[in-house]
Amino acid sequence: MKAEEFGILIVDDEFGVRDSLTRWLEKDNYRVEAAGSAKEALLKLDTGSWDIALVDLKMPGMDGIELLQRIREIDEQIAVVIITAYATVDTAVEAMKIGAYDYITKPVDPDDISRLIQKALEHQTLAKENILLKSNIQEMQEQYKLIGESPAIRKCLEMVDTVSKTDSTVLIRGESGTGKELFARAIHLASHRRFCPMITVNCGALPDTLLESELFGHEKGAFTGAQYRRKGRFELADGGTIFLDEISTISPKTQIDLLRVLETKQVTRLGASKTLKLDFRVICATNENLESLIKEGKFREDLYYRMNVFTLHVPPLRERRSDIPLLVEYFVQKYVQAMNKPVRSVTSEAMDMIVRYTWPGNVRELENVIERAMVLCKRDRIDVDDLPFGLYAQVEGDNRDSLANVERAHILRILHRTDWNITHAATMLEIDRSTLYNKIKRYQIDR
């Protein structure tokens, strides 16, 4: 930040002090104002924005200590520096205890005050950055919010709430596309570790040799090509959370190393002799049946028990169909903003179809379908037309495949395509207009 962006308020009953100090600080480009009393200072605090207040301890009427307390009530971010004489240093120390940033003793060396102001402003900048980062984290929490009101998802959210208050290792299980990483992030963001990073490792995406150096890091020269020392993902997650996705894919050798790390919370970089003591929380995820893998000897039982302290089963979308309209609404809004399209919602026919589909790809598939529909949609509501044909073909239900339903959906599609031009639609359907009117009436098709 530039000096002129910082505001300094000088409060001293002695004209000579506030006048000369104002002139001195103005030369450094700060925005400086002076007040001759605590009362005047409070008025300026009400109307302006200040980063530092230099407050004389002894003033007639309200003294510096009382003013400090009032400033704390108005704005706790302002760094209050108490100006005092040698005789009143004890009181200034008291002032520090109730929240003064620092104190200076008159007369002060010019260099001391310059450094003090600079230090206070650096402190202010860090405090502002801190507030900004915390609000960013809140935004992230919004961004990664879990959508759903079904009993199945409510149960999951309650478990997220419970487990986030602990440091226990969590195993998230669920089909592909159910949002396991989203749940991991929800646990991380609700925990006390949210101000530190959540590091994600997709174990399935890395070959075994690479995974080892990726997880534990390496020293320079640890292996051919290790030109630099590199921190591992566990080190990067220090203070935060490490999310190990597709944990079932790791090799037996890495399983042993991982077990040791989970037990000791200590990591040794490849090629290093020193062990690092770290503080992280582990969340693992898999879409495979680990119990079967143990029986087949592909996954270590001891690692399974170490990871499986707390298990969270994320239900597939077909087991929480009541959440689908909420998810659809969420994705529509998300893509409305991203694509800047005037789409408001989904027609009841399209929604009915979406709700009844089996969703083997779960929420991920649903999001993709909505994104695709948003691209294709030319009206203000997503309709059956905009959905992929595969979705239509696989809709569940005993009478969904009946001839009547297929006919109704086909007529609807043609009507949309012709923008409800009955003559044109009847021509395309190769029936006459009165037949089309009858069918519209029979199938209760509304525009």
Partner 1 sequence: MAPIYCVPLDGFPLKILHEIGSELGRTFHAPVHFLPEVDTTEQSYDHSRGQHNSSSILVMLNSIIPTDHARIIGITTADLFIPIFTFVFGEAQIDGPAAVVSGQRLTNEYYGMEANNLIYYERLLKECTHELGHTYGLRHCLSDGCVMRKSTYVEDIDFKTSEFCPECRTYMEAK
Residues in contact with partner 1 by the rule CB under 8 A: 14, 16-17, 19-21, 23-24, 26-29, 83, 106-111, 113-114
Which is nearer to partner 1, 114 or 251 (by Cβ)? 114
Pick between residue 4 and residue 129 the one whose CB is nearest to partner 1: 4
Give the C-alpha separation, 327 to 150, whole Å. Answer: 11
- The CA-based diameter of the chain, rounded to the nearest angstrom, is 105
Strand 79-84 to 102-105 pairing:
parallel
CB of 361 to partner 1, least distance (A): 57
Query: In angstroms, rounded to a whole number, what is the distance separating the alpha carbons of residues 384 and 208?
Result: 45
Q: How are beta strands 345-346 and 241-245 bridged, if at all? A: unpaired
In the bound complex, what is the minimum distance in angstroms from residue 132's beta carbon to partner 1?
25
Tokens of 251: 């090799």
Q: What is the DSSP track for 252-271?
A: HHHHHHHHHHHHH-EEE-BT
75/112 with CB nearer partner 1: 112
For the residues of 51-86, what is the DSSP string, one character each? SEEEEES--SSS-HHHHHHHHHHH-TTSEEEEEE-G
CB of 125 to partner 1, least distance (A): 16
Q: Residue 183 Cβ, how far from partner 1 at the closest point, in Å?
A: 50
Q: Measured from the CB of residue 83, what is the shortest distance to partner 1 in angstroms?
A: 7
CB of residue 104 vs partner 1: minimum separation in angstroms? 8
Least Cβ distance, residue 47 to partner 1 (angstroms): 24
Within 10 angstroms of residue 412's Cβ, the number of other Cβ atoms is 20
How many C-beta atoms surround the C-beta of residue 310 within 10 A?
16
Task: Work out whether the CA dihedral 66, 70, 75, 76 comes out positive or negative.
Answer: positive
Nearer to partner 1, 27 or 97 (CB): 27
Tell me whether residue 122 or residue 279 sits nearer to partner 1 (CB atom).
Answer: 122
By beta-carbon proximity to partner 1, the closer residue of 24 and 144 is: 24
**Residue 14 vs 219, nearer CB to partner 1:** 14
CB of 261 to partner 1, least distance (A): 48
CB atoms within 10 A of CB 47: 7
CB of 84 vs partner 1, minimal distance in Å: 11
Q: Which is nearer to partner 1, 121 or 346 (CB)?
A: 121
Task: Print burial letters for 194-211: b (CB count within 10 Å at least 16), e (below 16).
Answer: bebbbbbbebeebeeeeb
Q: Report the C-alpha gap between 388 and 400 in whole angstroms.
A: 16
Q: Report the 3 state secondary structure along 159-171.
A: HHHHHHCCCCCEE
Strand 281-286, strand 241-245: pairing = parallel
Q: Which is nearer to partner 1, 111 or 296 (CB)?
A: 111
List Cβ neighbours of 83 (8 Å cut-off, separation of 6 or more): 12, 17, 54, 55, 56, 57, 64, 103, 104, 106
